[in-house]
């Protein structure tokens, strides 16, 4: 591997590439767009001030090059809580050189990342009469119905947007407390986690009801993140506040988790299911470990051990498994973003 062409703030060896950002990083997304050999990766800064940045990098898995695109950097008010590229790989929305990127924070925003520029396409405000819109903790883009984005908010609601028409499809009071994450299962089914400690599933066809499929053991231990296994919709994973567990849920057996992955030695910060396999999940935590787990058919008496492990320099705050290149996982820690070969 010829490293001489790499830029100074990039380091790489045979199986990983590192990007050093000028600021701490949190939000991150890898474009699933397979139209070009270059994979776009968006990273969002975490600066506790108004002005934050979103940077776009080009990643080439063949040459292991990771190049920032300064012309594609743009400002974001306060740190973005989540970044996500348009999930569909073959979409009429997508021209070869442009990607749609959604961000959440004060509002849901949509950006078009072009060849040499980024344009703010739209800003979604769900209050009809004012600029007031409760801040968003997260969102998820519906893979099957990509015009649909669901957002989760601290005002206990989830809002489902039709982004093509720019209208609110529905707004549901999802929980008793702040909603921290949302994930789509099917085109009309989503789940959310909340400070009230519950995982609930909603069906847009029946907005009156929701199904609680898990409640944290100590009442009101907030659930912070949720990941729905896209390859086997029976399973989802969630993480608890101040807990080293990854809780695996089977929607067929509500309230009792099918597995609890407890090999992290400190709090878990991020989880991601493998994009092409139904039984692999990766988790990253405060112990600086990224663990890849293979869910066994039957759990042994001593719990489940991860299959493989990677040690980062410090707390791993973010983790994304590339859908287009399933042998690459991206992690973020401190001011670094690192791509790891699985």
Partner 1 sequence: MVPQNMKEQLALAVRSIQWSYVIFWSESVNQPGVLSWGEGYYNGEIKTRKTSQGVELSSDEIGLQRSEQLRELFRSLKPVDTNPQTKRPSAALSPDDLTDTEWYYLVCMSFVFNIGQGVPGRALENGQPIWLIDAYSVDCKEFSRALLAKTVVCFPFMKGVIELGTTDHVSEDLSLIQQIKTSLLNSLSVDDPINARATLSSRNNEGVACVAFDDNDYDVELIPEVGYDIINTTTSPNGSSNALQANQLRNETFMVESWQVLDDDLSNCVHNSVNSSDCISQNISSAPKVGEDCNNNQKMSLVDPLSEDWHYQKILSELLKSNDQLTMGMHFQNFHQESSFCVWNKGVPVNFQRPRQGTSQKLLKKILFEVPRMHTDGLLESQEENDYREGTRLEADEGMNHVLSERRRRAKLNERFLTLRSMVPSNSKDDKVSILDDAIEYLRKLEKKIRELEAQREPTGIESRSKKSHHDMVERTTDHYYNNKTNNGKKPMVKKRKICDIEETRREICSDASKGSSNKNVTVSMSDNGVVIEMKCPSKAGRILEIMEAVNNLNIDFNSVQSTEEADGSLHLIIKSKFKGPANATTKRIKQALQKVASKF
Report, in Å, the least distance between residue 26 CB and partner 1: 6
State which of residues 20, 67, 78, 186 lies at the interface with partner 1 (CB under 8 A).
Answer: 78
CB of 33 closer than 8 Å to CB of 87: no
In angstroms, rounded to a whole number, what is the distance separating the alpha carbons of residues 249 and 74?
38
According to the 3-state scheme, what is the secondary structure of 103-171?
EECCCEEEEEECCCCEEEEEEECCCCCCCCCCCEEEEEECCCCCCEEEEEECCCEEEEEECCCCEEEEE
Q: Does 267 bind partner 1 (CB under 8 A)?
A: yes
Q: Is 235 within 8 Å of 245 (Cβ atoms)? A: no
> x/- site string to partner 1, residues 222 to 261, per CB under 8 A?
--xx-----xx--------xx-------------------
Pairwise CA distance, residues 309 & 273, whole Å? 15
Q: Closer CB to partner 1, residue 22 or residue 296?
A: 296
Using CB under 8 A as the binding rule, the residues of this chain from 30 to 69 that contact partner 1 are 46, 48, 50
Applying CB under 8 A, does 145 fall inside the site for partner 1? no
Segment interacting with partner 1, rule: CB under 8 A, options 115-123, 196-204, 245-253, 291-299: 291-299
Long-range contacts at 162-171 (CB < 8 A, ≥ 24 apart): 163/110, 163/122, 163/124, 166/122, 166/124, 168/126, 169/204, 170/204, 170/207, 171/126
Scanning 115-123, 139-147, 153-161, 184-192 for contacts with partner 1 by CB under 8 A, the matching segment is 153-161
For the CB of residue 71, give the shortest distance to partner 1 in the complex, in Å. Answer: 27
Work out the number of other CB atoms within 10 angstroms of the CB of residue 341: 15
Judged by CB under 8 A, does residue 296 bind partner 1?
A: yes
Residues numbered 297 to 336 that lie near partner 1 (CB under 8 A) are: 297-298, 305-315, 317, 325-328
Name which of 116 and 298 has its Cβ closer to partner 1.
Answer: 298
Cβ-based nearer residue to partner 1, 112 or 156: 156
Compute the least distance from the CB of residue 197 to partner 1, in Å.
14
Alpha-carbon distances, residue 51 vs 56, 75, 79, 80, 149 (angstroms): 17, 6, 8, 10, 25
Q: How far is it, in rounded angstroms, from Cα 11 to Cα 269?
A: 24
Our finding on whether 166 is near partner 1 (CB under 8 A) is: no
Instruction: Please count the residues of this chain forming the interface with partner 1, following the rule CB under 8 A.
Output: 79
Stretch near partner 1 under the rule CB under 8 A, chosen from 90-98, 162-170, 213-221, 290-298:
290-298
């Amino acid at each position: 591997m010829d490293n001489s062409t790499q830029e100074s703030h990039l380091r790489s060896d045979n199986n990983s590439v590192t990007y050093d950002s000028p600021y701490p990083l949190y939000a991150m997304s890898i474009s699933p767009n397979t139209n070009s050999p270059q994979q776009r990766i968006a990273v969002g800064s975490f600066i506790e001030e108004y002005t934050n940045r979103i940077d776009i990098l080009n990643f080439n898995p063949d040459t292991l090059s990771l190049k920032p695109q300064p012309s594609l950097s743009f400002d974001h008010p306060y740190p973005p809580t989540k970044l996500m590229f348009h999930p569909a790989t073959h979409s009429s929305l997508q021209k070869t050189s442009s990607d749609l990127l959604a961000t959440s924070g004060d509002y849901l925003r949509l950006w078009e990342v072009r060849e040499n520029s980024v344009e703010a396409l739209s800003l979604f405000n769900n209050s009809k009469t004012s600029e007031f819109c409760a801040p968003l903790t997260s969102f998820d883009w519906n893979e099957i119905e990509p015009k649909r984005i669901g957002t989760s908010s601290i005002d206990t609601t989830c809002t489902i947007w039709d982004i093509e028409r720019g209208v609110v499809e529905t707004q549901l009071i999802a929980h008793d407390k702040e909603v921290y994450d949302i994930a789509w299962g099917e085109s009309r089914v989503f789940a959310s986690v909340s400070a009230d400690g519950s995982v609930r599933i909603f069906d847009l066809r029946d907005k009156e009801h929701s199904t609680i499929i898990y409640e944290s053991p100590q009442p009101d231990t907030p659930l912070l993140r949720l990941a729905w296994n896209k390859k086997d919709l029976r399973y989802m994973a969630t993480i608890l506040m101040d807990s080293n567990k990854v809780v695996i849920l089977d929607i067929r057996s509500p309230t009792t988790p099918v597995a609890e992955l407890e090999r992290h030695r400190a709090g878990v910060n991020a989880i991601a299911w493998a994009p092409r396999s139904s039984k692999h999940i990766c988790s990253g935590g405060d112990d600086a470990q990224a663990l890849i787990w293979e869910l066994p058919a039957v759990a042994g008496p001593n719990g489940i051990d991860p299959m493989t492990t990677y040690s980062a320099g410090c707390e791993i705050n973010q983790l994304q498994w590339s859908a287009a290149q399933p042998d690459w996982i991206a992690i973020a820690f401190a001011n670094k973003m690192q791509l790891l070969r699985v």
